[in-house]
Amino acid sequence: MTPPPAVLGLMPRRRLTGGHRNTVWLCDGPGGAVVAKSTRRTEAQLRWLFPLQVAARAAGFQVPVLQQDPSGNLLHQGWTIEPWVEGTHPADMTDLAPRIRAFLAACPLLPQRPGFCALADLLTQTRSGDIDLATLPADLLPRLRKAWKAVAKSQTQPIHGDLGAANLILSNDGPCLIDWDESRVDLPCLDLIHATEQSTAAQNAHLALEIASSWQTEPDHARKLLAASCFQGNVAP
């Protein structure tokens, strides 16, 4: 709930909803309205995004440019700062499917984002971004990994990683893609899950990922998803 520190030169206006894992504030900055968002990402993790966001712009998405401090850093005392984009969230993402496919096709080959891994790697590894599989109940983890194993041999590439309606803004300048926190090299079907019909295996893999990534940061959301999923069984508290 704490607003960005005054040393950043911002005048907090109001806290924004939707930042479930981060604190997000609409602020007045020297050049106009900006969004300040708390982040757990490192400078290297933020800079990894640049070529991916270039691909998104080439596909017709607007992408707010992260502001740099006088030293050229994107990380401002644990916050990122980007221009405020006015608009609404789409009620249906179907019409955006061709643009999402164009974005995925335009993505360059990149090494894995520092601190992240793909679903196939989570069959043996325990950490990726906000995910810490060691915190999951022991009887739940094998069920989630079974869902990831079903798609583990699929080809991977750079993806946005959380491409849902909440992270799309329909602005006067076109659709704007925000919140690149979960970007990494992984399955492209994960970026299309809300815009096109996907296989049951892809849907289950995505749901298992959402449960795992929310288990610590959004525990109520994670348990709600689990209760309505095929993974519930007799999961220990």
CA distance to 110, 211, 223, 225, per residue, from 159 (Å): 10, 19, 26, 23
Say what the alpha-carbon torsion angle 91, 97, 102, 104 is, to the nearest 10 degrees: 90
Separation of alpha carbons 100 and 191, rounded Å: 8
Amino acid, single-letter form, for residue 19: G
Q: What is the pLDDT of residue 232?
A: 72
- CA–CA dist 190, 192 (Å, integer): 5
Rounded to an integer, what distance in angstroms lies between the CA atom of residue 220 and that of residue 214? Answer: 9
Cα 192 off chain centre by: 13
Domain parsing of the chain, residue ranges: 6-227
pLDDT of res. 1:
58
Report the pLDDT value the prediction gives residue 236, as an integer from 0 to 100: 45
CB atoms within 10 A of CB 30: 8
SS3 114: coil
pLDDT at 21: 79
pLDDT at position 233: 63
- pLDDT score for 203: 96
158 CB-near residues (< 8 Å, 6+ apart): 51, 52, 55, 107, 108, 110, 183, 184, 185
* Phi, psi of 105, deg, nearest 5: -70, -30
Check residue 237 and give its pLDDT.
45
User: Domain 6-227, what architecture?
Assistant: Orthogonal Bundle (1.10)
What contacts 26, CB < 8 A, 6 or more positions away?
Answer: 12, 13, 14, 15, 16, 33, 34, 35, 84
Calculate ∠ Cα 134-150-95, nearest 5°. Answer: 100
Cα 43 from chain centroid? Answer: 16
Residues near 58 by beta carbon (within 8 Å), at least 6 away in sequence: 102, 103, 106
Evaluate if pTM is beyond 0.85.
Answer: yes
Tens of each residue's pLDDT in the chain, 237 residues: 588 888 889 999 999 976 567 899 999 998 899 999 999 999 999 999 999 999 999 999 999 999 999 899 999 999 999 999 999 999 999 999 999 999 999 999 999 999 999 999 999 999 999 999 999 999 999 999 999 999 999 999 999 999 999 999 999 999 999 999 999 999 999 999 999 999 999 999 999 999 999 998 889 999 999 998 888 765 444
